[in-house]
Structure formats: structure tokens, C-alpha cells
Amino acid sequence: MEKIYMIPVNDAYAESCGCPICRLHEKAENNYLEYYLGPSLMEPDTRKITNKTGFCPVHMGKLNKAVTNRLGLGLVMHTHLKDFNDDYTPKLKASIPAKAGILKGRNPDYKQKLNNMADLIERRVSSCPICDNLNDAMGHYVEVICWMFSHDSEFKEKFIESEFHCMPHTALLLRQAAKLSQNDAADFVEALYNNNSRTFDSLIADVEYFTLKFDYRNTDKPWGTSKNSIQRSMRFLSSDGRDFDEQQSKK
């Protein structure tokens, strides 16, 4: 088992609020954003990758907000645009359909060429080294989580007592649990079930109470834990809760 992943896993589960795997994802993502805006930008091997892939729309936006290295981002964008243009523009020109005329009939081949061009664009705009690295890191994290649950009693207790695991990360855990022995999987999934069923019950009750507060007859009743129940539900259903905080809801 890769011990390098155990420390951040333990740290994430030491906190009592929210989904621990979301915390792991956010920290890893920030590290990769810093990496691709740092000295690695000028490394030939890194530039070969970013020239070809660029970044997905989500991570382009996050790189744009991280204004620590505007020049570096500009250099990456410049060479990526050139690579994209060299790959795409000649192929687009070659895919322009010939017009059908009296002497030249219709040729349905143009439809496949246009679909191929659409596929090329979609592949290129969705490719992203940050996503690739994150997917690899998260795969290691969930593997470590399942292993530690079965071999580390202290961590098992942290897992059982964690507030919740968001739905997308619950799916990751279940796929990893399918690789465990039947007995280990039974204990792990039961803990996951207990953890998330408590969260479902709590959120359903809080969101219902939130809606009832809009009835004038309940105006003077205290909000209790329902006031931020919409945002907490969003965090539970989503693997990225940073846009679901209470301050955003007041804007």
C-alpha cells in the first residue's frame, strides 16, 4: 500500500465537516493548478502535453482565476492555439462539402466528415492533464481508504464517524469496494450506508422545514438547522461544493 497517500487521507478524515474525499480532491486540484502555473510551464515535456491537450473549460477557468502567473498562462495558451490551429483548420477546410450540381450529384460522405470534425473538436476541448492527474490521484485515494478501513481500526472509526460522503464520491468508494473480499466489502458498505442514510434523513427533514418556514404561520418559528439546508444538500449531491456556500446564496 502506498504510504504517500495515507497521510492526506488521515488528514482529510480528521476534519469533521463535509465529505472527506471532496477535501482530498480540492487539495490535489489546487496542487495541480499551482504545478501547471509554476516552473513546469517551461519544461519541454510539460509543454508537449499542454500544447496538445490544453485544459478543459473548468480548469481553464480556474487557471484564469489563479492570477499568479499570467505570462506563463499566456505562453501556454499561445502554443496550444497554434497546435490546435495546425491540427484543426486544414481538416476543416478539407471537410467543406462540395456543392451538388447538374453534372455532379449529391455525395452523402460529407456528413461523416462533418461528424468527424465535431468529434475532433470535442476531444480536444475536453482533454486536460489536470483532469487526468486528478482522476489518477483519486483512484489511489479510494484504494487507500478501503485498505485502511480494513487494516487500521483508528481510521475505521474516523470513516464511520465522518459527516457524509457526497454522492459522486460514494460511487467511487462502491466501485473500489467491489474489489474487496466479500466480508471486508460487507463491513465497508454497511458503514457507508449508515453514514449516508443519516445524511439523507437529516437533509430531507431540514429542507422540508426550510420550505415550511415560508408559510406565514411559521414566520416566528426558529430556523434551527434548516437555514442552510439547501446549500448542504447541494454539497451532498455534488462532488464540488465550493459554489454552494451560504454567502453565494445571498448574492
Q: CB 214: neighbour CB atoms within 10 A?
A: 8
Q: What is the pLDDT of residues 179-234, one digit of tens each?
A: 999 999 999 999 999 999 999 999 999 999 999 989 888 888 999 889 889 989 99
Residue 197 burial (10 A CB sphere; 0-12, 13-18, 19+)? exposed
pTM tops 0.85, yes or no = no
Comparing C-alpha atoms, which of 158, 147, 152 is closest to residue 185? Answer: 147
Q: What is the pLDDT of residues 26-61, one digit of tens each?
A: 999 999 999 988 888 889 999 999 999 999 999 999
* Pair 17, 163: CB distance under 8 Å: yes
pLDDT at 121: 96
CA angle in degrees (0–180, nearest 5) for 137-138-143: 100
Which of residues 202 and 2 earns the better pLDDT score?
Answer: 202
